[in-house]
Amino acid sequence: MLYLYTPDQQEYYARLLREALPDETVACWPQEAGAAAVTHAAVWAPPDGFFARFPNLHTVFAMGAGVDKLLQRKDLAPHVRIVRLTDAGMARQMTEYCLYGVLHYQRQMDRYAEQQRAGRWRPLETRLARDMRVGILGLGELGGRVATDLARLGYRVAGWSRRPRSIDGIRCLHGEAGLRELLPETDVLFCVLPATPETQRLLNADRLALLPDGAALINAGRGALIDEDALLARLDAGRLRFALLDVFAGEPLREDHPFWRHPRVIVTPHVAADTVPEDAVAQIAANLRAQAAGRPLNGLVERDRGY
């Protein structure tokens, strides 16, 4: 039996799953189901203790791409397989989010907004896409697609990953040395890494200082990737032109957080890329079929590397 916990659009997800999996029993929270019959769960942020109810649970489908929160759960036994969504309609949205930030920078929208407030008519220097260096941290399902989409639009794209990668038209770097090479050569840094023990506060004061003066930062990965105090210090000092932030160390962003009112910060409430229900359900159904046939699963999380 598959148990569903997705308070957002729960009924819709349940209908799609039942249509896609006519031979499966799909139960939905808060419906009581014979706990022992539940072998699979499809979830987004279920309450603490949720998984402990199901003694025969062996596979959890995350209804998102990031699994950092799931991997920290004490109620999820180590033998339970975690399967995340890969793309599922999110990659294209990530390109849109990144492109918005890149255009904000390239077309000087932050500066024109400032000039407008001052009632000032002053055309600024034109900058072409081919002169814009975009650095992308994370070259997986989402970052890889953003990199190729931006390169196709004419931007100079470099990307960074854990292991060596090779993507047509992208300068691919990896490891600490690669990051130290990429940061000083970046006008707009787009961060779409998973939060893992290794990436925790990756962008600290030392690494942020490697960005050229006047660079901009977009973070759509996880808030834990950035030392927020170091970022604020860099913005306050005028060394970073702006930050477009979708994810934060604490969400929702607390009311008195300085990011809300900072003139160089744009805040969005974790919306860079939403799961598309039809795509998510198609992926879960395909994985259930693969599992039944003994084929490898798409999006199986490697727990020890953290993503």
Positions touching ligand NDP (CB under 6 A) are 64-66, 86, 90, 138-143, 160-163, 165, 192-196, 198-199, 220-222, 246-247, 270, 272-273, 307
Name the residue with the smallest CB distance to ligand OXD: 64
Partner interacting with residue 200 (select from ligand OXD, ligand NDP, none; CB below 5-8 Å by kind): none
Work out how close the CB of 216 gets to ligand OXD at its nearest, in angstroms, rounded to a whole number: 21
Q: Does 195 bind ligand OXD (CB under 6 A)?
A: no
Beta bridge partners of 62: 43
Distance separating alpha carbons of residues 278 and 268, to the nearest angstrom: 24
β 2-5/265-267 pair status: unpaired
Nearer residue to ligand NDP within complex by CB, 28 or 301 = 301
Distance separating alpha carbons of residues 173 and 147, to the nearest angstrom: 13
Work out how close the CB of 13 gets to ligand NDP at its nearest, in angstroms, rounded to a whole number: 17
Partner interacting with residue 220 (select from ligand NDP, ligand OXD, none; CB below 5-8 Å by kind): ligand NDP
Measured in whole angstroms, the distance separating CA 5 from the mean position of its chain's CA atoms is 21
262 in active site: no
Partner interacting with residue 192 (select from ligand OXD, ligand NDP, none; CB below 5-8 Å by kind): ligand NDP
Distance separating alpha carbons of residues 109 and 266, to the nearest angstrom: 12
- Contacts (CB under 6 A) with ligand OXD, residues 30-89: 64-66
270 in active site: yes
Q: Which of 145, 222, 234, 241 is catalytic?
A: 222
Distance separating alpha carbons of residues 56 and 267, to the nearest angstrom: 41
Q: What is the 3-state secondary structure (H, E, C) of 125-157?
A: CCCCHHHCEEEEECCCHHHHHHHHHHHHCCCEE
Work out how close the CB of 283 gets to ligand NDP at its nearest, in angstroms, rounded to a whole number: 12
Distances (CA, A) of 208 to 52, 78, 101, 155, 219: 41, 36, 18, 22, 13
Name the residue with the smallest CB distance to ligand NDP: 140
Q: Which of 15, 81, 270, 303 is catalytic?
A: 270
Work out how close the CB of 3 gets to ligand NDP at its nearest, in angstroms, rounded to a whole number: 23
Nearer residue to ligand NDP within complex by CB, 49 or 184 = 184
Helix residue spans in 47-131 (DSSP H) = 68-71, 90-106, 109-117
Nearer residue to ligand OXD within complex by CB, 65 or 203 = 65
Nearer residue to ligand OXD within complex by CB, 86 or 204 = 86
- Contacts (CB under 6 A) with ligand OXD, residues 250-289: 275
Distance separating alpha carbons of residues 38 and 34, to the nearest angstrom: 7
Dihedral, 66, 206, 249, 68 alpha carbons, nearest 10 = 20
Q: Taking Cα atoms as reference points, which of 142, 228, 129 lies closest to residue 187?
A: 129
Binding site for ligand OXD (CB under 6 A): 64-66, 275
> Which residues are known catalytic residues?
222, 270
